[in-house]
Amino acid sequence: MSIAPALATALPVNSPQAKKDPVSTREFWLNYLVKLADPVLTALAACKLKERMPVETVNAANVKDRAKYTHLEALGRLLAGIAPWLQLEELSHDEKKLRDKYFSLAVKGIANAVTEGSADYMNWGEEGGQPVVDASFFAYGLVRCPKLWHALDTAVQQKVITCLRKTRTIKLPQNNWLLFAAMIEAFFICIGESYEDEKISYAITKHQEWYKGDGMYGDGAEFHWDYYNSFVIHPYLYDVLKIAAAKDAMYEPARKQALEHNLRYAAIQERLINAGGSYPVIGRSITYRTGAFHHLANMAYNHQLPEKLSLAQVRCGLSQVIKKITEPAEMFDNNGWLRIGLYGHQPALAEGYISTGSLYLCSVILLPMGLPESDPFWAGPDEDWTAKKVWEGVNLSADHAL
């Protein structure tokens, strides 16, 4: 497979050639991955991320504050999305060369990020509460790519552990942040390190209490109509419980219950994709763009979709989302860094906690890149997603609550 240099060269999912050659859709996704990963990992491997990455915020007065956190945001969120691809071995020759390049950059970059005195040493808990969020996304990336963890030398591994432990003293609000602490402890389980089980059990118990019905959780005691069920809650519950239940059978009933909710919310997410690839602009953090489909991508990656959803229709729906989001050239600055917005550059859409690094949560839609080309997700014939079928007059069965 040849690797196209830019998103603009990729074939839309509904083009005639794409229908004949599903690999072209993978190439389109790969172009998006490279566009996101290249500036972050290239700069960090050279120990120049803080020097090169802009710190855009909705309010210029926030730049100094967000600069304390934005670099770990970029690293953690990017790795959480591309980790399955970094883990994958079954690749074409050209794609493997590209994967090897970014794997090597990630190894070098992580060493720079966790080494005190490095120009790119990051804030892992020395200041503010935000580091627990992105240390957690970073840990999630290592959970999704064990090979990356094993590629770090012993000294760097110990530095990673030390950095992640710094987040244990951060006071957590009673909302989705409980899951960030739980994921860090789940990572410690994965590497055979001592872990604090109470952080896992408390996060699970509280989210069971906060379940509102029909596959939806409150972000804390209250329900918020936004995408945090996908940005964080469902993916984290799915994977934390998978790890915890494998370690302690006590968690197995909670895992099964959460999976039922996971499946329903995956069905809802697929129905949120409009015929043209847009989706409802609802709630905070909308500038995470394609990160809104973290959960659906994660369930597809794990082959855990509801019976009525095929892998092919999810592939085509998610492809259309990526195509829609990446249409405006203004999504990136002249040096390839993400700019704040949903459809192009729209800084007024951002909250005060959003900065350049935050935006790299958009990478989590790319989780199925960790499936080989031979997988049914990529190899199956194109199939329209629900909204496209309905608005073309297909007679579908009704949707029902859980």
In tens, the pLDDT along 57-91 reads: 999 999 999 999 999 999 999 999 999 999 999 99
pLDDT band per the 50, 70, 90 thresholds, residue 20: very low
Over residues 250-265, mean pLDDT: 98
CA–CA dist 198, 285 (Å, integer): 29
Cite the beta strand spans of 64-209 per DSSP E: none
In tens, the pLDDT along 163-201 reads: 999 999 999 999 999 999 999 999 999 999 999 999 999
pLDDT of residue 24: 86
Residue with tokens 């989706």: 279
14: pLDDT strictly greater than 50? no
Question: Domain-by-domain residue ranges, the chain?
Answer: 22-390
pLDDT of residue 343: 98
Among 183, 93, 88, which residue's Cα sits nearest to residue 145?
88
pLDDT band per the 50, 70, 90 thresholds, residue 12: very low
CA–CA dist 319, 367 (Å, integer): 12
In tens, the pLDDT along 208-225 reads: 999 999 999 999 999 999
Whole-prediction pTM: 0.94
Tokens describing residue 18: 């794409």
Over residues 269-285, mean pLDDT: 98
Q: Give whole-number Cα distances, 113 to 44, 80, 181, 183, in Å.
A: 8, 16, 20, 19
CA–CA dist 88, 91 (Å, integer): 7
Over residues 379-398, mean pLDDT: 97
Over residues 324-347, mean pLDDT: 98
pLDDT band per the 50, 70, 90 thresholds, residue 15: very low
CA–CA dist 25, 254 (Å, integer): 36
pLDDT of residue 13: 39
Phi, psi angles (nearest 5°) of residue 360:
-75, 0
pLDDT of residue 4: 36
In tens, the pLDDT along 112-129 reads: 999 999 999 999 999 999
314: pLDDT strictly greater than 70? yes
19: pLDDT strictly greater than 80? no
Over residues 227-238, mean pLDDT: 98
Average pLDDT, the chain: 94
In tens, the pLDDT along 287-304 reads: 999 999 999 999 999 999
Which one of 1.10.3470, 1.50.10, 3.30.450, 1.20.1300 gives the CATH number of domain 22-390?
Answer: 1.50.10
6: pLDDT strictly greater than 70? no
In tens, the pLDDT along 360-385 reads: 999 999 999 999 999 999 999 999 99
Over residues 230-246, mean pLDDT: 98
| HEC readout, the chain | CCCCCCHHHCCCCCCHHHHHCCHHHHHHHHHHHHHHHHHHHHHHHCCCHHHHCCCCCCCHHHHHHHCCCHHHHHHHHHHHHHHHHHHCCCCCHHHHHHHHHHHHHHHHHHHHHHCCCCCCCCCCCCCCCCHHHHHHHHHHHHHHCHHHHHHCCHHHHHHHHHHHHHHHHCCCCCCCHHHHHHHHHHHHHHCCCCCCHHHHHHHHHHHHHCEEECCEECCCCCCCCCCHHHHHHHHHHHHHHHHHHHHCHHHHHHHHHHHHHHHHHHHHHHHHCCCCCCCCCCCCCHHHHHHHHHHHHHHHHCCCCCCCCCHHHHHHHHHHHHHHHCCCHHHECCCCCECCCCCCCCHHHCCCCCCHHHHHHHHHHHHHHHCCCCCHHHHCCCCCCHHHHHCCCCCCCCCCCC
Residue with tokens 């031979």: 374
